[in-house]
Amino acid sequence: MDPMVMSNLAAPITMEEVKCAVFNMQPWKAPGPDGFSAGFYQKTWNIVGDTVYKFVENVWQNPSVIADVNKTDICLIPKVQNPEYIQHFRPISLCNTSYKIVSKVIVERLKGCIASLISPYQTGFVPGRNIHENIVVAKEMAHTMHRMKGRKGAFAIKVDLAKAYDKLSWSFIWRTLVEINFPEVLINVIMHCVTSVMTNVKWNGTRTDFFRPQRGIRQGDPISPYLFVLCMDKLSHIILHAVEKDNWKGIKMGRRGPMISHLMFADDLLLFGEASEPQMRCVMDSLQRFCTMSGQEVSHNKTSVLFSRNVERNLRNKLLNISGFNETSNFGKYLGVPLHGRAPRRSDFQYLLDQVSAKLSMWKANHLSFAGRVTLAKSVIEAVPIYPMMSSLIPKACLEEIHKMQRRFIWGDTDQKRRFHAISWDRITVPKWMGGLGLRKLDVMNKACLLKLGWKLQNGSDELWCKVLRGKYGSETTMGSNTSTSRVTHSSLCKALDGLKPILDKCSFWCIGDGRSIDAWSEAWIEEGFFLDQNVIIPVHLQGMTVHDLVDGNGKWNWSLFDSWIPVDCCKKIAAILPPNDDYGGDERVSIGGSTQQFSVANMYNNLCGLNEKDVNTIWMKIWRLKRKQYFML
């Protein structure tokens, strides 16, 4: 680890980071046994701030002090509709806020270095990584297995760890922190936070007797997710060591793509391997070794194996006997999104319609005002499909059905009677600042979400899912060619991104640096949405040139190359641009309304809908800003 990072982790506590920890907490969440919520500390910070700071500083110098406030109420949250057994409940720990402040300070320090410590196969709770990265890779793996041919097949195992947080060994946590080479002062504070806890179960508002656990970490403690992913990364090390020794053979994603052996999102595990008896034994040995070290246990009833279509029945039976797991024809949903190797169907997203219907059945439309129904339709119903939209092209028929449900709810339709829809849907989906109600067109929103993936691909992101797509389909498919390069055998996501390339090119342009990354004729660098090859015929001997090639030896535009055949108005625009120069650094692609670092889905949605903030109606802006008293005075 970087010495500078090490010194920051072990640095003395400052008043500023304690205050940030307090004010970054949700103010009125359920309190711990002492009854004080974070809102109390925030409201009275001028009075209690110094005391809180001195307490945290004292814990840093003498970690055993944390035991005085490290008490926890366990609330049992039902995981199913009608819970009958203890397994049907999720234990959530309500920690004292004074303890959570200490934990929060540690978390803020860990955030700066945890991404460099965790392997790229883990995306859970790692700053800068997104759950959708795992979903994209898992979908591409399922697609590869679905289309597999030849003698060598593959298997995928969806592993379920029983009570993963509760069974984590404290000694394993300590060994992991020491192996990472964390500062001793930080390890001491963390281990006292984990091991000094006194807890009780809160049942029907009544506390049971406090007891001291012997293992596990708490769901509800801010530091628990980070400790968990650090410990789970040990399994990654075991797997990658087996891969390096050629004992574990994952699935190769294209000739130049990475070898994928496993994917992790916290305790959600997907393991991939070649369908052979030695491979399955290697997988089981690796899992057993990790479980012995960490105290974890694999739930055999909930763990399933998926085989590629070219694995024979006899071999499948042998591999199932070795593993002891159940076979499945598909994994259903992975991280909340359908995981199928084939193209998505409307029936795959029926669960979205069911979720919307369930929410609507809980609301009495007749008891709500029109404004209340619009607010619920926008903030709740519209939010249901956004999560799968970030990684899937949802069938338009499914999104249209959700729109129908929204319209019926807004206007108060019932099964017995259809009410008059006074305003067209196209008008309702116009932003408030243009006279509409601000609801969004879901099919357009789906495109805007997927364009964020295409944006990262075209900007050369080195995230794992980008490497998988480039390796599987080649850079010509994923790096912004204006012509369609997808094939029938490509995945539905690849086809969707390929179909959105023209839109992405139209809604982005290049800021010139050295000019070496920009095609002079097929990419927009003169102005937004302007491509030279779409306006003039490019001479054959000049095709394939970059913007850097248009500069002469003196660093000025080489007008002899193009002023004779490019229109005069284009030449004037080029003359207004500084010629590329190596001193300016690399070229940068900029999204309209966004930047090279950030892609704004909201701005892209406005672009796709043809909405321009210059067209804002000031009258509507004033109306929406009116306070209730002003409204009644009018």
- Integer-rounded Cα Rg, in Å, for the chain is 29
Q: What's residue 606's pLDDT?
A: 85
- Least confident range of 59-63, 164-168, 630-634: 630-634
Q: How many residues are listed for the chain in this entry?
A: 634
Q: What's residue 73's pLDDT?
A: 93
Q: What's residue 599's pLDDT?
A: 78
Q: Look over the chain and give the mean of its residue pLDDT values, rounded to a whole number.
A: 87
Checking if the pLDDT of 174 tops 50, the result is yes
Q: Cα–Cα distance between 369 and 582 in angstroms, integer?
A: 62
Q: In the structure, what pLDDT confidence band is assigned to residue 330 with cuts at 50, 70 and 90?
A: confident
Instruction: Identify whether the C-beta of residue 171 lies closer than 8 Å to the C-beta of residue 178.
Output: no
Task: Report CA-CA distances (Å) from 307 to 256, 264, 319, 335.
Answer: 24, 19, 10, 20
Instruction: Identify whether the C-beta of residue 260 lies closer than 8 Å to the C-beta of residue 137.
Output: yes
Q: What's residue 480's pLDDT?
A: 45
> Helix %, strand %, coil % for the chain, to 5?
50, 10, 40
Tokens of 316: 């499948």
Rounded to a whole number of angstroms, the distance between the first and last alpha carbons of the chain is 65
* Of 483 and 396, the one with more pLDDT: 396
Q: What's residue 596's pLDDT?
A: 45
Q: What φ, ψ does residue 443 adopt, rounded to 5°?
A: -65, -35
Instruction: Identify whether the C-beta of residue 308 lies closer than 8 Å to the C-beta of residue 145.
Output: yes
- Least confident range of 60-64, 206-210, 560-564: 560-564
Checking if the pLDDT of 529 tops 80, the result is no
Q: Cα–Cα distance between 191 and 70 in angstroms, integer?
A: 12
Q: In the structure, what pLDDT confidence band is assigned to residue 482 with cuts at 50, 70 and 90?
A: very low
Task: Report CA-CA distances (Å) from 235 to 119, 244, 521.
Answer: 10, 14, 49
Q: What is the pLDDT of residues 3-35, one digit of tens each?
A: 677 778 888 999 999 999 999 999 998 899 999
Q: What's residue 2's pLDDT?
A: 67
Beta bridge partners of 326: 304
Q: What's residue 193's pLDDT?
A: 95
Tokens of 103: 């934990």
Task: Report CA-CA distances (Å) from 514 to 390, 475, 533, 577, 582.
Answer: 33, 22, 21, 13, 5
Q: In the structure, what pLDDT confidence band is assigned to residue 227 with cuts at 50, 70 and 90?
A: very high
Q: What is the pLDDT of residues 372-382, one digit of tens each?
A: 888 888 888 88
CB atoms within 10 A of CB 424: 9
Rounded average pLDDT over 175-182: 94
Instruction: Identify whether the C-beta of residue 386 lies closer than 8 Å to the C-beta of residue 449.
Output: yes
What percentage of the chain carries pLDDT values higher than 90? 47
Checking if the pLDDT of 257 tops 60, the result is yes
Q: What is the pLDDT of residues 228-246, one digit of tens each?
A: 999 999 999 999 999 999 9
Strand pairing class (198-203; 71-78)? parallel
Instruction: Identify whether the C-beta of residue 75 lies closer than 8 Å to the C-beta of residue 202.
Output: yes
Q: Cα–Cα distance between 190 and 106 in angstroms, integer?
A: 8
Q: Cα–Cα distance between 73 and 531 in angstroms, integer?
A: 63
Q: What's residue 365's pLDDT?
A: 66
